[in-house]
Amino acid sequence: MRTILEYASPVWSPQYNIYIELLDKIQRKFLRLVAFKLGISLEDIDYNYMENLLNLNPLKDRRVILDLSTLYKIVNNVSNCSELLDIITLNVPQRLTRDPKLFSVKYHRTNYGMNSPLTRLCRLANDHCRDIDFFCTPFKIFHNSLCQMTLS
């Protein structure tokens, strides 16, 4: 189930809550099935407890981890896609600010443009750039630090 829900998610990741909820509904349906197999009544299901019991992260957090991992692979030339690397620009501020941004995010007038994959990935990386290092960390350590963070 999870491989189907996460296949190429950095490209198609939903931006609206209605679509995020539809994906979460699939995981909740799976958790209800597991609860039934464990003998837990449907009225007593606590989805957060079931996710912790089965060591499942919420799908939204998993998509964030996949998004940031994809950007890491592009920036560090692990995925070897120079065309995408040419599109990504680093932010070089004129003066020191309290809110550093690692990547320069181009302004778009539409939601479609603002949530295009590379723009969304760079914006997401800017939100988490204080917590993670994109350039001096090996991928396994980078990925493990993402998994330990709370990303929501």
DSSP 63-116: HHHHHHHHHHHHHTTSS--HHHHHH-EE---SS--SS--SEE----SSHHHHTS
Query: Six-digit token pair at 12?
Result: 């198609």
Question: Would you say residue 86 has pLDDT above 80?
Answer: yes
Instruction: Identify the pLDDT of residue 151.
Output: 55
Per-residue pLDDT, averaged over 10-26, amounts to: 91
Confidence at 4, pLDDT banded by 50, 70, 90: confident
Confidence at 70, pLDDT banded by 50, 70, 90: very high
Per-residue pLDDT, averaged over 111-130, amounts to: 90
Please give the Cα distance from 106 to 83 (Å, whole number). 17
Contact 134, 145 (CB under 8 A): no
Residue position matching structure tokens 């914006």: 123
Instruction: Identify the pLDDT of residue 150.
Output: 62
Confidence at 3, pLDDT banded by 50, 70, 90: confident
Per-residue pLDDT, averaged over 102-116, amounts to: 90
Per-residue pLDDT, averaged over 77-82, amounts to: 86
Confidence at 124, pLDDT banded by 50, 70, 90: very high
Q: What is the DSSP letter of 43?
A: G
At residue 63, what is the residue type? R
Please give the Cα distance from 31 to 110 (Å, whole number). 36
Percent of the chain residues topping a pLDDT of 90:
33
Query: Six-digit token pair at 31?
Result: 């958790």
Mean pLDDT of the chain: 87
**Gyration radius of the chain over CA positions:** 18
Please give the Cα distance from 71 to 10 (Å, whole number). 9
Confidence at 35, pLDDT banded by 50, 70, 90: confident
